Every structure is written in structure tokens, then in C-alpha cells.
Amino acid sequence: MSGLIYRIAMSEPNTHLFEVEVALADAPAGVIFRMPAWTPGSYLVREYSRHVQDVTALDRDGVALDVAKIDKASWKVLGLAEGGAVTLRYRVYAHDLTVRTSHLTGAHGYFNGASVFMCPEGFADAAATLEVTPYGEWTCSIALPQLEGPGFRYAVEDFDQLVDSPGECGTHREITFEAAGVNHRWAVWGPGAEQWHGPDGARALGDVKTLIETEVALFGDLPADVEDYLFIVHLKPERGGGLEHKNSQTIHVSSDALREPKDYEDFLTLVAHEYFHVWNVKRIRAEHLGPFDYSREAYTPLLWMMEGITAFYDTMIPARAGLIAPDRYLELLGERLATCRNKPGRGVRSLEQSSYDAWIKLYHRDENTDNTAVSYYLKGELAIACLDLHLRAVSDGERSFDDVMRLLWMRQKETGAAIRPGDVADLFQAATGVDLTSQLAVWVEGTDDLPLESLLQAIGLEVTPSWKAKASAKPFGPKPDPAGRPWLGITTQQRASGGTFVATVRTDGPASGANLYPDDELVAVDGRRVGADWDDRMKVYDVGDEVELLVFRRKAQQTARVTLAQRPADTFSVSLAQEGPSGAHKTALSAWLGARASELWDKGE
């Protein structure tokens, strides 16, 4: 048995308190135990130590030792002789149902290692044993090698693996299936879990197998150390997020995923995204993303690669696998382009800057976020789409971004080296024979809009901007073209206390620079009282009209005069060009979207 043992129990689940022990057989005098502040894959310092309570320590004979808290996440054991045995005991409050935290109720227990386990200083690389004591008759699902003997005991290589191996405890029944020659397990909890054990669930897991095998075909093989893979699935009223691990994933899926087509599509893309991380992020990694220092941020300008690449493939893989129709893929691409183009921050912060600033921007949203930042997931995906289309165009279809991923995986297996920012252009060229330095300089390091329209045109597709139609409020005359609808450049929110309040003011809108601020209560437009219907009131105006807004700011009356502008396009439709695809276009589209691409032109014939 290892000299380092981690134990986690849940004897009173309705208290939401996990009982944790860290036992060290040969501890240094004054050993310090540290709680992680964040978890890999989610780039935000979450201060997990805030949920720790009741910290005590015992020596080999069960005699209590003094424990001193020396900083926000560290505890030092006092009075222990060099080489003595010590067991640190504490409890962790767990009532936050996300993929990044832990959750314990009378119905189940889920623990994410970073949020429950402390690491003894100097023992991050030490092998250990994990002992899980589920409540009552509950079982445990975790992606670790189980040791022989009774109970739920597992071998752990090091602290990184412990953090990377979340556990699900409860009354769930695992479903097993084989994909790419490897055993996969499905542990599902939440309302509607039984559906996954029926015919609909079997069909869904068949689609999951197809996704897995499509991704394996792209890379060429699964990592050799993936011998057993676990899906931990929490069913919720709406889709949530996912978090990748080397040999497992935790995903939050809509309880209606087996019944509602949109929810099912979200489920497929989420599974595809997190499974793609088996290669990209968990093994193909950027510099500083492992080994980890869990006490502080791990900065990198390459999250656009880690997550942008994965986001690009999370819809492309289902499309190539035949699980998303090609016209629906193009619709999704248009939706994501529209979302990106409606973020003024895309012109302020580059993809590299957005990656580096993830720790202070992505998860710390406020009323100015969209003006100063752009998601490295969203714009990263579109940048990869542009690189992929560019590679296909300049190589006459002989090269694509798939070649980049295969080279990165081969390099990882051969060297295990992390990717440094200065390596990117050389690696891409080594994979494709194409120098992408200038494209990376503009699309990744710069803030210009991505040229997706022209690149799609080269394969017979066109992008059409439009506006979500709204009826005119003018009683006479023709209804104005939706493109001409006047626009203030604000969003509002209704508050429980009553009133309509300005939520955001876009820097590219007409209200920017006027005397109109977030948190102002919008009361009247040109002397007429408005509320939640303020946007309908705008329909009586034309672009170029000046309006006077009456607002209250901290109970003081204010006015703002704004000249209305044309609303930016809020929809982008991607479709076949009107003249129809040529033979070359059909070949390119089939190579890009897979066998079902012919549906795009078959509908028009």
C-alpha cells in the first residue's frame, strides 16, 4: 500500500459535506497541506479552500496535533517529528452542481478532485491510493485503476491524476460499450436517467460511438493509456457545460436531450468537444498547461488553439459523421459568425490577448465585457475554419487543418513537448507545407475581422447578412426594410423591483458617448413613458432621427440625446451560391463536410 492515502466519504449527504482524509506515512516535520485554487480546463481562480472546514490532524497513535492555517489555502501541522505519520482530516461543503466543482445531496455525490483534495507539500509527484466510501448502498464510478479487494480503492500515479479523475457516487447503473477497440462507461444521474437505459439511450450511445470513431480516424489512433474511458453525465433542465479529463469527461446535458432535436444536437456537439480534448489539451498541450501549479494562474496565449480548434471540430465531427445535416452545419456556422460580429470587443483584443486574459475576462463578465473582449472559443473556432479553408484552397484540396492535428499528435507521442507560442507557424508549415505566418499575424495576433466570406466563396458558398424582421409601428406607408430599423445600441433588463434598466451600452452604437450609462433606469423616450416595450417604441423613428431619453440614475433625473443609427446585421446565412456549385465546388464541399454534402445541391435539383 502506498505511503500516501487519500480518503473521501459522505456519511451525511444531506449536509452537503464530504469527509476527506489525507494520510501520510512518512511526513516531514512541519508538513504543509495545500488546497488547489483552480482546476485544469477552467481558467479561473475559484478559491476552493473557501469551502473547507473542521481541519484537524492526528499522529500515528491517534493523538491530536495542532494545525495552523498559514494562508488562504494552506495548513501546517505542528509538533510532528521528522518522518512521523500524520492524517489530516477536514470536511468540504459541496452544493454547487457544475463540472468544475463538487455536489453532494441525498441523491448523489460528485467530486472534482481539485475542489476536495489537499496535496502535502513535496508530494505532488508521489503515487497514492484513493479510498472512496460512498453513502449507504451507493456505488462509485471513476476513471482510475481499481485495486483488488473489497470496497472502492484505486491506484493514483500522482496528484495531477487525482485532480484529473472526478468521481460519481450514487445509485446509478453504468452502461458499457466498446468504441475504437476500447471500453467506454456511461454513468448518468438526474431526472430522466432511466431513459438512457432504454432504446432511445441505446441509439444515442450508438451515435456517441460514431463520434468517437470519427475522431479516432482523424488522429489515427487513441492514446495508448486510454484503456477505459468514463462519461459522467448530469441531466439538468437545460444544457450546461463540460470539462475534459485524460480518461473521462463530465458533461451537463438537457433532460430532454433524447426527445428534443435541438437539445440532442447540443448533446452531440458537447460530447464531441470534450472527447476531442482526449488529444487536444489533455495530451497535445500548450506551454504552461501542465505540469500544474494549482495555487496560481497558468498563463498562455494559445488557448485559441486549445479551445478554438476543439470548438471548430465539435460541429465538424458530427457533420462528417453524418449526425448533423450539412445545411444545419452551415446554419450553425452562420449563427456563430453573427455572434462574433456583434461583439465590439473583437476589434479591441486579439485571440492571443483573449487567451492570455482568460483568467480575468472570460469568466468575469460585466456590462463592458462585449466591448473589450472576444471569446477565444468563438473567434478561435472561426479562425480555425479560415485556416482550414485557406489550406484547402492553396493546396487544391491536398491539405487541411486535419493534417495539422495529425502532426501535433504524432509530435506529442514522439516528444511529449508542449507547444510554445513561437512554435505555432513552424508546426503548421511542417504539417501542411504552407507558410501561414501572415495569416496568423492578422487572424490571431491582430483584431481585423476574419475573411470567412471570401474563403467560403471559394468552395461555392455565400454569406448573406440580414436582420431579424420586426413589424413597423408606423400606421401609414410601406414598412421599412429591416436593415433600416433604428438602433440605440443598448440592451436592457427588467428587474424584480420593477423598471427597465440599461444593461449594456455598445461602444459601436449611437448611445456610446452619450449621457446614457449601464444601470440607468429608462423611463421615457421623447416625453412618452416606456418600459419593457421601449424597443417597440423605436419603430416609429427612422435612422438619423434624434431622440431624447429620460432616465433615472441613482434616483436623480438625467437626459440623453441620441441620433439613431442603422442596426448592424444580426443574422448571417451561409448557403450555396445562387449560381449553384460547380464540379470543383462539389468536390471541395464533400471533402470538407463529408458524404452528406451532396444534400446541399440535391435539394435544388
Residue 596 placed within a domain: no
Residues 428 and 367 in one domain: yes
* Position 499 pLDDT exceeds 60: yes
37 within 8 A of 47, measured Cβ to Cβ: yes
Residues 37 and 129 in one domain: yes
* Position 605 pLDDT exceeds 60: no
Residue 176, C-alpha cell as written in the block: 458499457
258 within 8 A of 200, measured Cβ to Cβ: yes
CA atoms within 13 A on the CB side of 162: 33
Q: Which residue has the cell 472526478?
A: 166
The answer to pTM > 0.75 is yes
Q: What pLDDT, on a 0 to 100 scale, did the predictor assign at position 536?
A: 85
436 within 8 A of 429, measured Cβ to Cβ: yes
Which amino acid would we find at residue 327? Answer: D
Please compute the mean of the pLDDT values over residues 424-435 and round it to a whole number. 98
Q: What pLDDT, on a 0 to 100 scale, did the predictor assign at position 603?
A: 75
End-to-end CA distance of the chain: 70
Q: Backbone dihedral region of 416: left (phi > 0), alpha (psi from -120 to 50 degrees) or beta?
A: left
Percent of the chain with pLDDT over 90: 92
Average confidence score pLDDT of the chain: 95
Residues 251 and 206 in one domain: yes
- CA 35 to the chain's CA centroid: 24
486 within 8 A of 565, measured Cβ to Cβ: yes
| Of the listed ranges 32-46, 357-371, 467-481, the one predicted with least confidence | 467-481
Please tell me the distance from the alpha carbon of residue 81 to that of residue 83, in angstroms, as a whole number. Answer: 6
Q: What pLDDT, on a 0 to 100 scale, did the predictor assign at position 116?
A: 98
Residues 97 and 150 in one domain: yes
Q: What pLDDT, on a 0 to 100 scale, did the predictor assign at position 239?
A: 82
Q: Which of 328, 327, 290, 303 is nearest to 383 (CA)?
A: 303
- Counting Cβ atoms within 10 Å, is residue 48 exposed (0-12), middle (13-18) or buried (19+)? buried
346 within 8 A of 374, measured Cβ to Cβ: yes
Residue 410, C-alpha cell as written in the block: 504524432
Please tell me the distance from the alpha carbon of residue 168 to that of residue 187, in angstroms, as a whole number. Answer: 8
Here the CATH number for the domain that contains residue 118 is 2.60.40.3650
Here the CATH number for the domain that contains residue 529 is 2.30.42.10
Residue 599, C-alpha cell as written in the block: 444534400
- Counting Cβ atoms within 10 Å, is residue 60 exposed (0-12), middle (13-18) or buried (19+)? middle
H/E/C letters for each residue in 540-586?
HCCCCCEEEEEEEECCEEEEEEEECEECCCCEEEEEECCCCCCHHHH
* Position 388 pLDDT exceeds 50: yes
Q: What are phi and psi of 491, to 5 degrees?
A: -125, 155
Residue 328 placed within a domain: yes
Q: How many CB atoms lie within 10 A of CB 475?
A: 6
Which amino acid would we find at residue 41? Answer: G
Instruction: Tell which of 238, 263, 288 closes a domain.
Output: 263
Q: 356: which residues sit within 8 A by CB, 6+ positions away?
A: 299, 300, 301
Range of 94-98, 497-501, 563-567 with top mean pLDDT: 94-98
Please tell me the distance from the alpha carbon of residue 537 to that of residue 485, in angstroms, as a whole number. Answer: 12
Please tell me the distance from the alpha carbon of residue 167 to that of residue 474, in angstroms, as a whole number. Answer: 60
Residues 207 and 224 in one domain: yes
pLDDT confidence of 352, banded at 50, 70, 90? very high
Q: What pLDDT, on a 0 to 100 scale, did the predictor assign at position 56?
A: 98
The number of residues making up the chain comes to 605
Residue 477 placed within a domain: no
Residues 375 and 424 in one domain: yes
- Segment 306-342, tens digit of pLDDT: 999 999 999 999 999 999 999 999 999 999 999 999 9
pLDDT confidence of 296, banded at 50, 70, 90? very high
- Segment 47-64, tens digit of pLDDT: 999 999 999 999 999 999
* Position 475 pLDDT exceeds 50: no
Residues 14 and 163 in one domain: yes
- Segment 527-557, tens digit of pLDDT: 999 999 998 888 899 999 999 999 999 999 9
Residues 368 and 402 in one domain: yes
Instruction: Tell which of 155, 170, 185 closes a domain.
Output: 170
- Segment 134-170, tens digit of pLDDT: 999 999 999 999 999 999 999 999 999 999 999 999 9
Q: What pLDDT, on a 0 to 100 scale, did the predictor assign at position 537?
A: 86
User: Can you give the residue range of the structural domain that contains 352?
Assistant: 279-452
Q: What are phi and psi of 442, to 5 degrees?
A: -90, -45
- Segment 231-251, tens digit of pLDDT: 999 999 988 899 999 999 999
Residues 191 and 156 in one domain: no
Residue 203, C-alpha cell as written in the block: 441509439
Beta bridge partners of 286: 419
Residue 466 placed within a domain: no
Question: How many independent structural domains does the chain possess?
Answer: 4
Q: What pLDDT, on a 0 to 100 scale, did the predictor assign at position 541?
A: 93
Alpha helices in 243-295 (DSSP H): 261-276
Residues 239 and 136 in one domain: no
Pairing of strands 490-494, 486-487: unpaired
Q: What pLDDT, on a 0 to 100 scale, did the predictor assign at position 468?
A: 78
Residue 574 placed within a domain: no
Percent of the chain with pLDDT over 70: 97
Distances (CA, A) of 364 to 43, 358, 367, 377, 463: 11, 9, 10, 15, 33
Enter the DSSP assignment of 494. Answer: E
Please tell me the distance from the alpha carbon of residue 144 to that of residue 129, in angstroms, as a whole number. Answer: 10
Q: What pLDDT, on a 0 to 100 scale, did the predictor assign at position 484?
A: 67
Residue 583 placed within a domain: no
Q: Which of 5, 51, 7, 14 is nearest to 136 (CA)?
A: 14
- Segment 205-215, tens digit of pLDDT: 999 999 999 99
Residues 85 and 183 in one domain: no
Q: Which residue has the cell 500515479?
A: 157
Q: What pLDDT, on a 0 to 100 scale, did the predictor assign at position 135?
A: 98
Q: What pLDDT, on a 0 to 100 scale, did the predictor assign at position 101?
A: 98
Residue 589 placed within a domain: no
* Position 480 pLDDT exceeds 80: no
Q: What pLDDT, on a 0 to 100 scale, did the predictor assign at position 472?
A: 47
Q: What pLDDT, on a 0 to 100 scale, did the predictor assign at position 476?
A: 45
Q: 202: which residues sit within 8 A by CB, 6+ positions away?
A: none
pLDDT confidence of 481, banded at 50, 70, 90? low
Please compute the mean of the pLDDT values over residues 429-449 and round it to a whole number. 98
- Segment 5-39, tens digit of pLDDT: 999 999 999 999 999 999 999 999 999 999 999 99
Residue 577 placed within a domain: no
Here the CATH number for the domain that contains residue 231 is 1.10.390.10
Q: What pLDDT, on a 0 to 100 scale, did the predictor assign at position 358?
A: 96
Q: How many CB atoms lie within 10 A of CB 490?
A: 24
Please compute the mean of the pLDDT values over residues 71-86 and round it to a whole number. 95
Residues 245 and 180 in one domain: yes
Instruction: Tell which of 452, 473, 496 closes a domain.
Output: 452
Please tell me the distance from the alpha carbon of residue 596 to that of residue 344, in angstroms, as a whole number. Answer: 36
